[in-house]
Chain A
Amino acid sequence: MTTRHGTSPSVNAARTDVGSAWRALVDVEDTIAEALDPAIVGICGLRISSILDNSGEADRASASLPSAKVAALTHWPRASPALTGMERACLAFAEQFVIDVTSVDDELVDAVASHLAPEVLYLFVRWVQSNEARQRAELVLRHDQEVRSSP
Chain B
Amino acid sequence: MSPRIPTSGLGRDRHGVLDARSLEPDGVRAATSRYDEAVRGLGGVDAATVELVRFRNANHQQCHL
Main secondary structure of the interface of A (DSSP, over half): helix
Contact of B3 among A32, A53, A133 (CB under 8 A): A133
Kindly count the residue-residue contacts between A and B in the assembled complex, taking CB atoms under 8 Å apart.
Answer: 76
Closest to B15 in A: A106
Contacting pair B34 A143 (CB below 8 A): no
Closest to B57 in A: A136
Collect the chain B residues with CB atoms within 8 Å of residue A147's CB.
Answer: 52
Contacting pair A28 B3 (CB below 8 A): no
Number of chain B residues close to chain A: CB under 8 A: 27
Main secondary structure of the interface of B (DSSP, over half): helix
Contacting pair B52 A35 (CB below 8 A): no
Interchain CA distance A21-B20 in the complex, whole Å: 23
Contacting pair B52 A126 (CB below 8 A): no
Contacting pair B42 A31 (CB below 8 A): no
For this complex, into which size category does the number of interface residues on chain A fall?
20 to 34
Contacting pair B35 A25 (CB below 8 A): yes
**A-B pairs with the 10 shortest C-beta distances?**
A24-B35, A24-B38, A21-B38, A31-B31, A122-B23, A119-B23, A28-B31, A20-B38, A27-B31, A28-B35
Residues of A at under 8 Å CB distance from B? 17-18, 20-21, 23-25, 27-28, 31-32, 34-35, 51-53, 99, 118-119, 122-123, 126, 129-130, 133, 136-137, 139-140, 143-144, 147
Q: Can you list 15 A-B pairs with a CB-CB distance of less than 8 A?
A: A21-B41, A24-B31, A24-B34, A24-B39, A25-B35, A25-B38, A32-B28, A53-B60, A53-B63, A122-B23, A123-B23, A123-B24, A123-B25, A137-B3, A144-B49
